[in-house]
A = this chain, B = another copy of it.
Amino acid sequence: MSEIKLIREDGRRLDGRLPEELRPIKIEVGVLKRADGSCYFELGRNKVVAAVYGPRELHPRHAQDARRAAVRFRYNMAPFSVEERRRPGPDRRSVEISKVSREALEPVIIAEYYPRAAIDIFVEILESDAGTRTAGINAASVALADAGIPMKGLVSAVAVGKVDGQIVLDLMSEEDQYGEMDMPVAMVTRTNTITLLQMDGRVTMEEFDRALDLAIAGCRRIYELQRKALIEKYSESRAEEGGV
User: In the complex this chain forms, how many copies of it are found?
Assistant: 3
Whether A238 sits at the interface, judged by CB under 8 Å, is no
C-alpha gap A62/B59 in the complex (Å): 9
C-alpha gap A87/B61 in the complex (Å): 33
C-alpha gap A62/B61 in the complex (Å): 10
In whole Å, how far is A80's beta carbon from the nearest beta carbon of chain B?
19
For A59, what are the chain B residues with a Cβ–Cβ distance below 8 Å?
Answer: 62
For A62, what are the chain B residues with a Cβ–Cβ distance below 8 Å?
Answer: 59-61
In whole Å, how far is A117's beta carbon from the nearest beta carbon of chain B?
16
Please name the residue on chain B nearest to A62 by beta carbon: B59
For A60, what are the chain B residues with a Cβ–Cβ distance below 8 Å?
Answer: 60, 62
Contact with B along A60-88 (1 / 0, CB 8 A): 11100000000000000000000000000
CB proximity to B under 8 Å, residues A27-75? 59-62
For A61, what are the chain B residues with a Cβ–Cβ distance below 8 Å?
Answer: 62
In whole Å, how far is A142's beta carbon from the nearest beta carbon of chain B?
32
Please name the residue on chain B nearest to A57 by beta carbon: B62
Contact with B along A137-168 (1 / 0, CB 8 A): 00000000000000000000000000000000
C-alpha gap A61/B61 in the complex (Å): 11
